[in-house]
């Protein structure tokens, strides 16, 4: 299996609902988000690519238009990194050409330098199969 990953970034603010009183994430705050989109294929195209990285430009345009310098609570009721990763995965299916969208296997979202949330439509089984 061949895989490629492209990283994007945006700045946004949010707060999380339902947290204990005084939890720092319950207050409005911002992050410098990083997003990694991974595509996979058992074979390469005629040019030796899983996909052309340029084919992912619509994702960057979407992130800049819908998320950059926005309040994420206006988009999602609970804008956790996990739910944001799922939303971005779903958006990839809408904005990418079908042949490229079908190669997207996962989306990872980072709020900080040391934490990531990962969304896969079909989690890997313990034996490695999907």
In the chain, the number of structural domains is 1
**CA 64-66-21 angle, 5° bins:** 110
Residue 90 lies in a domain: yes
Q: 83-101: per-residue pLDDT in tens?
A: 999 999 999 999 999 999 9
CATH number at residue 26: 3.30.479.10
Residues of the domain holding 86: 2-120
Q: Catalytic residues, which ones?
A: 25, 69, 111
Q: Is the pLDDT of residue 127 over 70?
A: no
Residue 54 lies in a domain: yes
With a pLDDT cut of 70, the percent of the chain lying above it is 94
Question: Is residue 16 within 8 Å of residue 26, measured between CB atoms?
Answer: yes
Residue 127 lies in a domain: no
């Amino acid at each position: 299996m061949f895989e490629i990953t492209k990283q994007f970034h945006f700045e946004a603010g949010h707060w999380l609902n339902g947290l204990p009183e005084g939890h720092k994430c319950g207050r409005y705050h911002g992050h410098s988000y990083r997003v990694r989109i991974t595509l996979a294929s058992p074979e390469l195209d005629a040019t030796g690519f899983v996909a052309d990285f340029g084919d992912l430009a619509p994702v960057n345009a979407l992130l800049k238009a819908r998320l950059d310098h926005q309040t994420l609570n206006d988009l999602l009721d609970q804008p956790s990194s996990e739910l944001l990763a799922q939303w971005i995965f779903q958006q990839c299916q809408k904005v990418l050409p079908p042949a490229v969208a079908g190669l997207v296997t996962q989306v990872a979202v980072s709020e900080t330098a040391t934490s990531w949330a990962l969304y896969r439509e079909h989690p890997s089984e313990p034996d490695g199969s999907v």
